[in-house]
Structure 1
Amino acid sequence: MQTRNDSTDPRSSSSFYERYHSLEDIYYWINRTAHDFPNTVKVILIGSSYEKRPLYVLKLSMNDNPNKKAMWLDCGIHAREWVSPAFCLWFVHYSLSFHQQNVDITNILDNMDVYILPVMNPDGYKYTWTTNRMWRKNRSISKSSGCFGADLNRNFDANWCTEGASSNPCSEIYCGAFPESEPESQAVANFLRSHKDSIQLYLTIHSYSQMLLFPYSYTLEESDNHNDLLEMAQEAAQKIRRYYRNIYRYGAGAKTIYLAPGGSDDWAYNLGIKYSFTFELQDRGRYGFLLPPSQISSACNEALLATKVIALKVLEKTQSPTSAPRTF
């Protein structure tokens, strides 16, 4: 087997996380991370893609405390949004490097397990590296039209295929033949269904436009805990502005951008995961999906700050007084 040079070894330096990586390198990184942190990181195969690539979830667990809650983080549902998988790798690296050193991440990881899916759409991601950098969907084939791909973020059973999605298989926002018709969305939905009692927070990472969104996206109606979600998103946006001088809009998806049915965040919310968010990372459009590697660090630091703010708020709202996260 060819030996990897230092530049692709996840342990080489933090600069590894300031570059984009091929699907093969991400799979290598997943295996290497689990190998290097056997007591903390577990790899769970939750399914496979249309083209039979594995869908690996990393479970970060710092202890075996009973009745521990969890959060879910997925990246790369849309193939061309490369900074999204970069954030999942960044988050894992940060969590493993700074657990016990950073008070916020210590509180979160001591009280929550974290499930991370670095690339939800591996076929599409691979295709953006080899053939079409701007590809969005997965790579399933429509028997009726011969067109490729469904939009995985229109394929969940949340007002599926209504206004804001398309039933045309050739469309960028094709909703699929039926809810969870795509193996990728079905694998995620099955995993979340089987862990819905422990998962309290759902985060899905997209780009671009710098927004912190929450349900609903499929209707203009407000969710039951709209004010809680708004308060969390607002605090995260304010801290990003304070620390990084960058502006993030925030609000319910449908009101903040547009109607988008069949999204994973709305579906997770309706499943019972009442703290559900979509992050749209940098930038505001100058580079769009082609965000330069030099901006990965700032994009990921902003998303990391928002994740910590929101996860700590979720702990505060869901834990009993006797099990509140410790402070220093």
Structure 2
Amino acid sequence: MCVCFRVLLDNTEELIEMQTRNESSDPRSSVSYYDRYHSLEDVRDLIVSYILLDQQDCPGTPRHGQSHPDWLILSGRQERAEKRAMWIDCGIHAREWISPAFCLWFVQYSLNFYNLNNDITEMLNSMDIYVLPVMNPDGYKYTWTTNRMWRKNRSSSKESNCVGTDLNRNFDANWCTKGASNRPCDEIYCGQFPESEPEAEAVANFLRSHKDSVKLYLSIHSYGQMLLFPYSCSNEEVPNYAELFELVQEAAMKIRRYYRNNYKYGASAKTIYVAPGGSDDWAYNLGIHYSFTFELEDRGRYGFLLPPSFISNACNEALLALKSIALRVIQKTQPQP
């Protein structure tokens, strides 16, 4: 029997070193700072700097909040009693470094272009935007210090010496059925029960307490270049399937038109695979009926080891899709007179 294979990366250690190398002394305000990957400590320092900036009440910038030490609130200066909200989380899987990079990039872009870019200004004036740059901080730190390809969090199990739960299998959406594992050593281990992990529980509690205002949920992943919507946990079609399909189709067409890159789109289970316990399905079932997952660059050439030189393009593509969907959701959720 002939086994065919192709080597994609000749030297992964060199590529990992390239990702973790920060030779520049560029200030956090510079564009080039966001064209590199940053450690958990850097991310948290950056969040603190944003909060300090807000305390200065700088004119022409959105305000920031600190509902939680690890996330930010972006909001335009225009206050509305009926203001809606949008949630973005990044880094639910530790090894997907382009995901936290996008969240940081998006925050800085919003600060720089509020009142300069019409789309960003409309988004921030119409919605509070909650941004969680690293949903899996312990796992993300572990990828910087010990195992670059680690996926789960770092929680211990009473049942096994194996460490970690897949946070995107830990939500109460067909929890631990086909597409997840009840074995703690597996990468897609679902945890001991729904929301057994503090990270999943914290996000779920926050969204439950804000479910009346949050109209759009977005979770950023990699890789594969896909724009997805529920359900992930089954092949069943959600009631507004056609509407969600139209939104991701339009966003994918814009990426292709402006960046000459192709993104697949559709319901998650039909487009990629069945994955129960996902945050996007759970958010949808909570009542956030505009719920999406983005899988950023690339299609597999580098995979989770996407070089820093790809960050800018990946973030621009994701931003274009985000703006396309968010502006349509703002229109669709206008309060009735």
TM-score normalised to structure 2 length = 0.90
* Aligned with 1:32 (options 49, 69, 94): 49
What is the CA–CA distance in structure 2 between the aligned matches of 1:186 and 1:9, rounded to whole Å?
Answer: 35
Residue identity matched to 1:115: Y
Match of 1:15 in 2: 32
Contact preservation (8 Å) 2:227, 2:295: yes
Contact preservation (8 Å) 1:9, 1:29: no
* Aligned with 1:60 (options 68, 74, 77): 74
Alignment of 1:37-56 (within 5 A): 37-38=54-55, 39=57, 40-45=63-68, 56=70
**Equivalent position SS for 2:175:** coil
More displaced 10-residue stretch of structure 1: 36-45 or 103-112:
36-45
Contact preservation (8 Å) 2:86, 2:129: yes
Alignment of 1:200-219 (within 5 A): 200-219=215-234
What is the CA–CA distance in structure 1 between the aligned matches of 2:54 and 2:257, rounded to whole Å?
Answer: 34
* CA drift at 1:37: 2.7
Contact preservation (8 Å) 1:8, 1:25: no
Gaps of 5+ in 1: 46-54, 323-328
What is the CA–CA distance in structure 1 between the aligned matches of 2:162 and 2:273, rounded to whole Å?
Answer: 25
**Equivalent position SS for 1:223:** coil
More displaced 10-residue stretch of structure 1: 312-321 or 26-35:
312-321
Match of 1:307 in 2: 322
Match of 1:139 in 2: 154
* CA drift at 1:56: 1.3
* CA drift at 1:67: 1.4
Alignment of 1:61-210 (within 5 A): 61-63=75-77, 64-210=79-225
**Equivalent position SS for 1:37:** helix
Query: Is 1:271 matched with 2:294?
Result: no
* CA drift at 1:8: 5.9
Contact preservation (8 Å) 2:26, 2:32: no
**Equivalent position SS for 2:66:** strand
Contact preservation (8 Å) 1:211, 1:249: yes
Q: 1:128 to 1:153 in 2, by over 3 A?
A: same
Residue identity matched to 1:269: Y
What is the CA–CA distance in structure 1 between the aligned matches of 2:143 and 2:24, rounded to whole Å?
Answer: 25
* CA drift at 1:9: 3.4
Contact preservation (8 Å) 1:202, 1:275: yes
Structure 1 segments of 4 or more deviating over 4 A? none
What is the CA–CA distance in structure 2 between the aligned matches of 1:6 and 1:248, rounded to whole Å?
Answer: 32
Structure 1 vs Structure 2: percent identity of aligned residues?
69
* CA drift at 1:6: 7.5
What is the CA–CA distance in structure 2 between the aligned matches of 1:320 and 1:193, rounded to whole Å?
Answer: 21
What is the CA–CA distance in structure 2 between the aligned matches of 1:84 and 1:169, rounded to whole Å?
Answer: 25
* Aligned with 2:256 (options 241, 246, 249): 241
**Equivalent position SS for 1:144:** coil
Deviation string, structure 1 residues 187-228 (Cα, Å, up to 9, x no partner): 000000000000000000000000000000111010011011
Contact preservation (8 Å) 1:155, 1:178: yes
